[in-house]
A and B are shown apart, each in its own frame.
Chain A
Amino acid sequence: MLFRPGALVAATMLFGLPASAEEIVRISGWGGSEVAVVNGLLTNVLAEKLAEEGIRVKYEPVDGDYSQFIINGLSAGTAPDLFYVDTFWARSVFSAGQAAPVTNDVSGFAANLLTAFTYDGKLYSTPKDFNTLAIHFNKDIFDDAGVGYPSDDDTWTTLQEKLVAVNKSLPEVDGLCVVPEYARFGAFALSTGWSPFDARGKTVLDKRFRRAFDFYTGLVKSGAAVMAADAGHSWTGGCLASERAAVAIEGAWILSALRDSAPNMNLGTVRMPKDPESSKRGNIVFSVGWTVNAASKVSKAAAKVAELLTTEEAQQWVLEQGLALPSRTSLNDNPWLRGGQPEQIASRVVLEGLSDDHVMPYFFGDVGGSWMQPINAALNSVILGEEDANTALLSAQSAFDRMLAK
């Protein structure tokens, strides 16, 4: 029987099969503004390289509870080959053996981001981007109030004075919308030198913590802030966008929200205020990495996609679109970051937050998010005036003692 190549090509075309074997890699991340980032990368930056590698990427963004989607998918064997992992819940995936170790060269990435994704001595995620907290403010409100802008030199007290002055001058505007959450308060507590876990792995709410706690819970009483919920918002950025508050404490994620809800805002961004006693700054790092599913049948191709999605070229494109901050240190001096546009300034300030004096990842060991509950409950009850600080912190300390004794 004669071999006829033409017949094979014809058959391939007829049945719509690719002439060469193409590996399909399913990747997943959360929805919202992230969809634009990943789609932009796949179509504008990486299309040719992926084709050269013989890889076709099937992107499946997920709206809703993403971590639950991944945990369910991993346990059922239906999880994507490559997916986002947040430092907050990364441990639950890594410790369960569901992530393949990273084998690519990661020397160009920020060291503290790599540490956040390291478990048992092995790196399991390639950091894709990160965020820290900063003070974002509406310049027009400060101008109208005749109050000086917040600055990088502000301490807690000078910032508080400015916020009180804004509210006094413009009673319909509050200085800040506070949320009773460690995710924002933590930056103040950390700036005092306090650490969530001591050398024995215990949480001790010491005098330094108390100082930050008193300052944060006193913001509402002093007239510098209002509870975000009382202003009809669930986050500090919502108040800033609606001009209900003059400042917000958020990461660079606020930029995409402001782009939609307050595109004409005259935005300014400065670094978190210093603790007036220690003159140090604290911050929390939020980071997301690409993780290869340990059970993936195309793990090599998935690792390649992770590598391509986090190359310097890819991160530069993402940065220049103002979509996320690069996890590669080489991009810290990127000309885009030195620009004078509000988004460029905000990105630069958030990037600088990574080198604040006391920076901790948004991660709480095996205890997970439950660790924050005693602090959140204490913040809430004191801000609402339901308990005094002594009672609330005694109760929080006792909750930590029980929680960490297990």
Chain B
Amino acid sequence: MSRARSEERSGWLFVLPFTISMMLFFAYAIVRTAYYSFTDFDLFKAPSFVGMSNYTALVSDELFLLALRNTIGFSLIVTTTQTVLALGLAVLVNHAVRARGLIRTVFYLPSIMSSAAMTLIFLWLFQRNGFMTAIVSVVLAYRQHILLFLVGMAALQGALVLNARRSYEGISIFDPLFLLVAAVGALALAASCALAGLLSVFDNNLLISWLNTQRHFLFMPVTLWSVALMNVFTTVPTLMLLFLAGLQSIPSSLYDAAEVDGANAFQRFRHITVPALRPVTFAVVTMGVIGTLQMFDQVAILGDAAPLASRVTLAYYVYENAFPAGASSRIGMASAAALVLGILTIAAVYVQKSVGVKEKGE
């Protein structure tokens, strides 16, 4: 009995530091935020109770509605893209026979840089006449060359694989040696046609506003699409490592048995890899949802490089109200918006858990 009590006491002692920090920085902060959300408070005068008026003001504030729409759109796009890309990269790295460590390190590099530094680099890349525009400009200028290369490569690869399958079974459509030969052949074809003057180069003087624009693409401002690209680039490597750890814990005997049963690569991926990775996918999606719903740093660093309406997210809206430029703090509005963001995050994680990726593997 005394041993049990001693263990119980030890247990409480172990969790005490975390409990204290939780109570101070989470529970207490939430209670204070909830209280302030029903008051008019500017950080100086005593808070005065205003009932639900901060919440009704939120609903009628166009900037809040815009921030809400932007946040949900951004979260959907980034979470989906980064999860798919991270899984794909992890599978690719896992299959690399040689220099796996080097490839893993190279892919992980974007994640070791600070978010602020990356944003500043992307600000430069995203200039209207910057690097990203140059890429698009080159693609458009040489579109005939690129198209011919792709078509030529697909045709050569198809011909090589079909020819090989007449002699050997089980040749993959993506056979790496044939891919290399097809790429070289297609490159030679495109170069020959270009030298013969059969292909045109289309002059363009492109200026693309990646950040400083009020245009929309689908349901989100173009600016936030650019931020999403930046965010995916920096987050995918970390998530890839999680998937990689999950992949390496899947017994190879499962793949061997499936191969014996005649399952192809896609079937093995669909029926072994994806279900076995479900707990990792759950963690990746959940972290993605939480991180993207709280997007703040990258849009804050953008500052005047992009119009407010094109980059505002809920987290930034909270900050804008807490510290408005040249005006008194609106802590009541900021608190109400912060609570909405908190509730939205919890709801999104719950919905994801209920109807999205399950926590337990099959």
Q: What residues make up the interface of A, taking CB atoms closer than 8 Å to B?
A: 65, 67-68, 71, 74-75, 88-89, 91-92, 95-98, 181, 227, 229-230, 232, 234, 363-364, 366-370, 373, 376-377, 380-381, 384, 386-387, 402
Contact = CB atoms under 8 A, between A and B. Distances in A.
A227 B212 CA distance: 11
Interface in B72-121: none
Interface stretch (B42-50, B134-142, B276-284): B42-50
Interface stretch (B156-164, B193-201, B303-311): B303-311
Contact of A377 (B307, B323, B329): B307
A381 B327 contact: no
Contacts of B251: none
Interface string B118-150: 000000100111000000000000000000000
Given A98-B44, A386-B215, A366 B307 contact: no
Contact of B326 (A92, A384, A386): A92
B327 to A, nearest CB: 3
Contact of A366 (B127, B207, B305, B328): B328
A170 B272 CA distance: 66
A367 B309 contact: no
Contact of B212 (A67, A71, A91, A380): A380
A81 to B, nearest CB: 17
Interface string B203-237: 00001010011110000000000000000000000
Contacts of A227: 128
A91 B324 CA distance: 12
Contact of B42 (A96, A367, A376): A96
Contacts of A98: 44
B325 A386 contact: no
B46 to A, nearest CB: 12
Interface residues of B, number: 27
A86 to B, nearest CB: 8
Given A71-B43, A230-B207, A377-B307, A92 B327 contact: yes
A74 B124 CA distance: 37
B214 A97 contact: no
A65 B301 CA distance: 12
Contacts of B329: 71, 92
Contacts of B207: 230
Interface in B305-319: 305, 307-309
Given A363-B326, A373-B308, A74 B213 contact: no
Contact of B214 (A65, A367, A380): A380
B214 A68 contact: no
Contact of A369 (B124, B209, B326): B326
A64 to B, nearest CB: 12
Contacts of B323: 65, 67-68, 71
With a 10 A CB-CB cut-off, give which of B44, B127, B129 has the most chain A CB atoms.
B44
B13 to A, nearest CB: 32
Nearest to A368: B327
Contacts of A229: 127-128, 212, 305
A96 B44 contact: yes
A89 B207 CA distance: 36
B179 to A, nearest CB: 40
Given A229-B128, A230-B207, A75 B325 contact: no
A97 B328 CA distance: 12
B213 A384 contact: yes
Given A381-B214, A384-B209, A89 B127 contact: no
15 contacts: A89-B326, A91-B327, A92-B326, A92-B328, A96-B328, A97-B45, A227-B128, A230-B129, A232-B127, A370-B325, A373-B307, A377-B309, A384-B212, A386-B214, A387-B214
B327 A370 contact: yes
Nearest to B57: A406
B301 to A, nearest CB: 12
Contacts of B129: 230
Given A71-B43, A377-B214, A386-B213, A369 B307 contact: no
B194 to A, nearest CB: 31
Pairs A-B, 10 closest by C-beta atoms: A368-B327, A369-B325, A368-B326, A96-B44, A75-B43, A369-B326, A92-B328, A89-B326, A88-B326, A230-B128
Contacts of B328: 91-92, 95-96, 366, 368
B324 A370 contact: yes
Nearest to B303: A234
Nearest to A376: B307
Contacts of A380: 212, 214, 307
Interface string B34-63: 000000001111000000000000000010
